[in-house]
Amino acid sequence: MIQYLASIATQGCIFSIVALGLNVIWGWAGDLDLAFYGYLATGVYMAMVTSIGRLPPPTEYILGWHLPFPAAALIAIGSVILLASCVGAVALRRLRAVYFAITTLSAVLMLQTFVSDYTPLFNGYNGLYGMPQPFNDTLRLSPEVYPFFFLAFCAGILGGVFVVLERLSASPFGRALRAVREDEQAAAAFGRNVYGLKFTAYALGAALAGLGGALLAASQGAFNPAGWPPDETLDLYVAIFVGGMGNPRGVILGVFLVIVLLQEAVRFLPIVTANPSFPAATGEILIGLMVLVVIRYRINGLLPDLHSTDTVPPRRGAGLRVERGEAVG
C-alpha cells in the first residue's frame, strides 16, 4: 500500500511540473494551447529513444541511444522547445483566442497521427518500452526502496521549478505577461513586445512539459499513442482552474485534487454496472461537478493569483447604476 501511495505521489509531482508549464502559457500569457499534451508526449518519446538502446525486432524506432538520464532529459527538453517554437512561430504571430486554440489542436492531431502511422519514428501504435530506472545502475536500490528515491527526486525537481516560477511570477517578466494577457493593445502602447513575451512564455511552458515527459517516461517505463488522448489536456486545464489560474501554489493544489486524489478515488468505487468504463466516466462527472462548484463559489480558484487584477474585489458601492435614465457613479 505504501508503494502505491508513493507511486501516485510521484505522478502528482510529475503532472504538477507539467501543469506549471501550462500555467505559464495560459495563466500568465492567456493563450489556450490545446497542443500542450503533445509536447509532454514528445518529451516522453525523446527521453526513451535516447536511453533505452536497441530492442529486439519487430520493434522499430529512431536513434536507439543508451544515454544517461540527465542527457536524455536535456535532449527531450530541447526537442520539445524546438517543436513548440515551430508551432508558436506560426500560431502566436497573428492568431488569438479560439483561432489559436484550433491551430494548436490541429498541430497535436497531426503529430499524433504521424507518430502513430510512421513506425520507424517511435514504433507506431505499439509504442516504446524498457525505460531504465534513472541512476539505479549506480545506486543499486531494491525494487522496494527505489520508488521512494524517485519520489524524492521528482519532488526535488518540482520544488526547484516552483521556486523559479514564484520568482518569475513577481518579476518584470511575469508582470509584463499579465499586462499582455489583460490587454495586448495597451501593453504594446507602453512599449511591450507582445509577440516576444508570448513566444518566450510558450517556449518556457513547453520546456517544462518536456521535463515532465522525461520524468513520466522514467516513471512508467512504457508509452504509446493511446497514452495522450485530447482529454488529458483538458484535465490539466481543470486542475489549473480549480487550484487557481496564474498561481503556482494553486496549480500544484489543483493537480493533487483533480488528477491525483479525485481520479484515484474513483478506482475504489463499488462496481454497480458491468460497463468497464464506469470508474473513468464517474471520475469525469465528478470533475465536471467540481468545476461547477468552483465557478459558483470560487470563480478565481481555491488559491487565486494575487498578482491578477481579476482577483481584486470591487469596492462597496463602486460601479455604475442607472437611476431615472441617468448613469450615477
pLDDT, averaged across the chain: 89
Q: What is the pLDDT of residues 28-64, one digit of tens each?
A: 999 999 999 999 999 999 999 999 998 888 898 999 9
C-alpha angle 26/28/29, rounded to 5°? Answer: 70
Looking at 187-196, 250-259, 263-272, which range is the least confident one?
Answer: 263-272
- What pTM does this model have? 0.91
Q: Taking a C-beta distance cutoff of 8 angstroms, is the pair 212, 17 a contact?
A: yes
Distance CA 181, CA 198 (A): 9
Do 319 and 327 meet the contact criterion of CB atoms below 8 Å apart?
Answer: no
Greater confidence, 180 or 281?
180
Do 77 and 151 touch, CB atoms closer than 8 A? Answer: no
Q: What whole-number distance in Å separates Cα of residue 69 and Cα of residue 67?
A: 6
Q: Which of 8, 206, 217 is nearest to 92 (CA)?
A: 206
What is the number of H-type helices and E-type strands within the chain? 14, 4
Alpha helical stretches, state H, 170-226:
172-182, 184-189, 194-220
**Does the pLDDT at position 271 exceed 80?**
no
Given a contact cutoff of 8 angstroms between Cβ atoms, the answer to whether 30 and 240 are in contact is: no
The backbone torsions φ and ψ at residue 223, rounded to the nearest 5 degrees and listed phi first, read -165, 145
What is the CA angle 66-69-72, rounded to 5? 70
Q: Count other Cβ atoms within 10 Å, centred on residue 45.
A: 27
Alpha helices in 96-193 (DSSP H): 97-117, 119-122, 136-139, 146-169, 172-182, 184-189
- When pLDDT is cut at 50, 70 and 90, the band that residue 309 belongs to is low
- pLDDT, tens digit, 9 for 90 and up, residues 68-91: 999 999 999 999 999 999 999 999
